A and B are shown apart, each in its own frame.
Chain A
Amino acid sequence: MVDEKILLAILMTTSIGAVAGYLGTLMLSKRMSLVGGPLGHLTLPGITIALLYGFDVSIGAFIMLTLAIILIWLFEKRTKLPLETLTAIVFTSSVAVAFLYLPDEEVEQALIGDISQLTLITTTLSVLLSIAVFFLVKKIYKKMVFITFSEDIAKSEKINIDKYNLIYLIAVALVIGLGIRIVGSLLTAAIVAIPAATSRNLSINLKQYAYGGAIAGGLAGLLGIVIFQHFSISAGPAVIISSTGLFLFSTVFKRT
């Protein structure tokens, strides 16, 4: 029984870690790695409601992310304040509101994730959704690189920037929503930022960089569960520590 749980955990963390690492390479090039943090925190009220009413935390996270993005968009229209300021207001308020209702015994699960309640269905759905997001990101990858490299040239080449940015942001929201399953709302920035940085150190071309992010993320997921099993460390932090280990390794073997 324990082995089956571990197998499910490996499947889930590896697939979510891989897609997060893959998307993370785009986020790194757009200097958006840290965005994973506030977005993760934004999900906290959704996770709280999910835990209180017994439904899946990712569903709670997705609902909260959608609401928060609409709220930020409305505030921006109304106030013209910078997006980062409004994001800071909404995400800190979200954390504060969540802690008003979050039961003490659920705090750890909400903040750093919990894989002990995995079922075959939730794992299968997570893996399938990760694969779908992977192919979605793969489809827009080259165009997003072009847009990142020069938005003006991309526009002059008639690339529909708004469309690609929207798909990219949807992918970010989906990955954060999936990521909180393994690392909770506190550590989501790490699953997109660290594998991408590792890959950046070791890659010499775009293909290696993109797929290197997926490999580093997936490997961190796998190693994290192995550490979780052998050393009784929570899975979320174990995944991040594994990822950090891979990053440190990459700094030694950095290629230019």
Chain B
Amino acid sequence: MENNHLALRVKNLTVELNNQKIIEDLSFEVKKGETLVVLGPNGAGKTTLLRALLGIIPYKGEVIWSVKNTSYLPPNELMQRKEILPLTVEDFYSLKEIGKEKIFQSLKSVGLEESLFKKRIANLSTGQFQRLGIAWSLVDNPDTLLFDEPTSGIDIGGTETIYSLLHEFWEKQKLTIILVTHDLSVVWEHADNVICLNKTGLCYGTPSVALTTENLKQLYGVGVKYYKHKRDG
């Protein structure tokens, strides 16, 4: 890749699953240290996009990463599976072969007590588990974090915590973040760029340029109220 400030370049990405086109001819770039929000309604192909970017599913087109260490976090999936095994917090980290000292640092970085070390992850509160998920995904110092719907099913307080934690790590570690959500307020608060996805890319650019009333209407259908954060006003 000629542009060494880029973390990712995607060109003409098409994903077809079970003979159905889920994503069609999508192109975009992500700069190092950028927060890109992928916005779209349910079934728009947002999770599919992340899975294609990670090479988990087959795709056509180009996906060129110029960062080596990416971390993927689908918190909902983890939440649903936290009881299938008697994993303690220590066991959970051991899946990534992380030592005790680093685990303590990692827990501390998201405001969790060291005493949770021996606790079963199934017995953590939703908020604690969300924090743990973030800490766990960042423990091996990735350059890029792909985060899928981090706050669905969490209350407003929990949502605030998740995003302020992410923002903190973004500032501290110069992370590149690709964040999937359908929460418009997150875009205004945290995104450098936004992609409106509904099978194809309906808009792409900075929030103030991309999120026009017209584009939102096209993305979500009629009846979506246009909300602009005061920061950009």
Question: In the complex, are the beta carbons of A209 and B85 less than 8 A apart?
Answer: yes
| B121 nearest CB neighbor, chain A only | A149
Q: Check B123–A256 contact: CB distance below 8 A.
A: yes
- Are A152 and B88 in contact, CB atoms less than 8 angstroms apart? no
Main secondary structure on A side of the interface with B: helix
Q: Is residue A250 within 8 Å, beta carbon to beta carbon, of the partner chain?
A: no
* Interface stretch of the complex, out of A11-19, A39-47, A200-208, A230-238: A200-208
Q: Is A145 an interface residue (CB 8 A)?
A: yes
Q: Does B184 contact A (CB under 8 A)?
A: no
Classify the secondary structure of B's interface with A: mixed
- Measured in the bound complex, the distance between the Cα atoms of B91 and A156 in whole Å is 19
A148→B84 contact, CB < 8 A? yes
Q: A29-B85, A152-B56, A156-B70 are in contact. List 17 more A-B contacts (CB 8 A).
A: A142-B97, A149-B95, A150-B78, A150-B81, A152-B77, A153-B72, A153-B73, A153-B74, A153-B78, A155-B54, A155-B56, A156-B146, A200-B86, A205-B88, A206-B87, A206-B94, A209-B85
Return chain B residues, CB-CB under 8 Å to A207.
91
| Residue contact A152 to B72, C-beta cutoff 8 Å | yes
Q: Report if A206-B56 is in contact (Cβ < 8 Å); known contacts: A142-B95, A156-B70.
A: no
B118 contacts the other chain (Cβ, under 8 Å)?
yes
> Is the CB of B71 closer than 8 A to any CB of chain A?
yes
Residues of chain A within 8 A (CB-CB) of B96 are 157
Nearest A residue to B137 by beta-carbon distance? A153
Report yes or no: A145 in contact with B85, Cβ–Cβ below 8 A.
Answer: yes
Interface size on A, as a range, is: 20 to 34
Closest to A152 in B: B56
B9 CB within 8 Å of chain A: no
Partner of A156, one of B56, B97, B118: B56
Q: Verify A206–B88 contact, CB threshold 8 A.
A: yes
Task: Tell me how far the C-beta of B139 lies from the nearest C-beta in chain A, rounded to whole angstroms.
Answer: 12
Interface residues of A in 190-230 (CB under 8 A from B): 200, 203-209
Interface string of A65-101 (1 = CB under 8 A from B): 0000000000000000000000000000000000000
B59-99 near A? 1/0 per residue, CB < 8 Å: 00000000000111110011001001111101100111100
B11 at the A interface (CB under 8 A):
no
A150 touching B74 by the CB < 8 A rule? yes
Q: How far is the CA of A153 from the CA of B74 in the complex (A)?
A: 8
State which of B88, B95, B146 has its C-beta within 8 Å of the C-beta of A204. Answer: B88
Give the residues in chain B near A157, CB-CB below 8 Å. Answer: 96
The answer for the CA separation of A209 and B84 in the assembled complex, in Å, is 12
Q: A164 within 8 Å of B by Cβ? A: no
Q: Which residue of A lies closest to B91 (CB)?
A: A206
Q: Which residues of B contact A152 (CB under 8 A)?
A: 51, 54, 56, 72, 74, 77
The A154-179 residues at the B interface (CB cut-off 8 A) are: 155-157
A56, B98: Cα distance in complex, Å: 45
